[in-house]
């Protein structure tokens, strides 16, 4: 249990660093959009590289915050039907949801790593004003997906450990009756 707690603390710190980076990215967007609007209307000039940076930033923003949001149960959940079910079907659906999350985030991690590595090895670049190496834009996909995978594994561990604890409490309360 202590090992799991230590690992969870490290994961929380990494997620915290990622969300701070996402906040900095949003601040940059805000300032650069304001700057772009002013230069367009005052000087009749626009910086086209901002559009590329904003596009890459959308990808980065998604994967910088995805694990942090999962850790706070902040993703959209429609549980109108699930809350009406008995505990066993709720557990089954929760397990299916966690399993699907683990499989998808594992797939994104594996294939994102492969795509990023292939892009790095081939020296591929993204055509545009900035012409950046493609792997620099893609690297956030396997990193964010791996953190999401760890977060889903954490959620599964906590759900299993928590359920085991509730089952043990139930057995103790039954034996006292």
If one counts every other C-beta atom within 10 angstroms of the C-beta of residue 101, the result is: 19
Q: Enumerate helices (H) and strands (E) in the chain, giving the number of each.
A: 5, 0
CB 142 within 8 A of CB 112: yes
Q: How far apart are the C-alpha atoms of 106 and 101, rounded to whole Å?
A: 8
CB 168 within 8 A of CB 128: no
pLDDT of residue 171: 43
CB 108 within 8 A of CB 141: yes
CB 82 within 8 A of CB 93: yes
> What 3-state class would DSSP assign to 133?
strand
Q: How far apart are the C-alpha atoms of 114 and 142, rounded to whole Å?
A: 9
Q: pLDDT truncated to tens, each residue of the chain (177 aa)?
A: 688 888 899 999 999 999 999 999 999 999 999 999 999 999 988 888 888 999 999 999 999 999 999 999 888 777 788 888 898 998 899 899 999 999 999 999 999 999 999 999 999 999 988 999 999 999 999 999 999 999 999 999 998 887 554 444 444 444 433
């Amino acid at each position: 249990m202590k090992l799991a707690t230590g690992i969870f603390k490290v994961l929380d710190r990494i997620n915290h660093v990622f969300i701070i980076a996402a906040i900095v990215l949003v601040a940059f967007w805000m300032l650069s959009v304001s700057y772009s609007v002013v230069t367009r209307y005052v000087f009749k000039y626009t910086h086209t590289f901002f559009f590329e940076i904003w596009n890459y930033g959308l990808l980065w923003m998604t994967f910088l915050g995805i694990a942090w949001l999962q850790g706070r149960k902040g993703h959209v959940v429609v549980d109108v039907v699930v809350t009406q079910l008995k505990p066993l079907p709720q557990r089954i659906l929760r397990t299916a949801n966690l399993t699907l999350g683990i499989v998808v985030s594992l797939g994104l991690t594996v294939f994102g790593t492969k795509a990023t590595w292939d892009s790095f090895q081939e020296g591929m670049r993204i055509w545009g004003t900035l012409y950046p190496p493609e792997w620099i834009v893609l690297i956030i996909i396997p990193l964010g997906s791996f953190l999401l995978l760890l977060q889903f594994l954490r959620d599964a561990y906590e759900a299993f450990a928590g359920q085991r604890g509730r089952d043990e409490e139930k057995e103790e309360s039954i034996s006292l009756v």
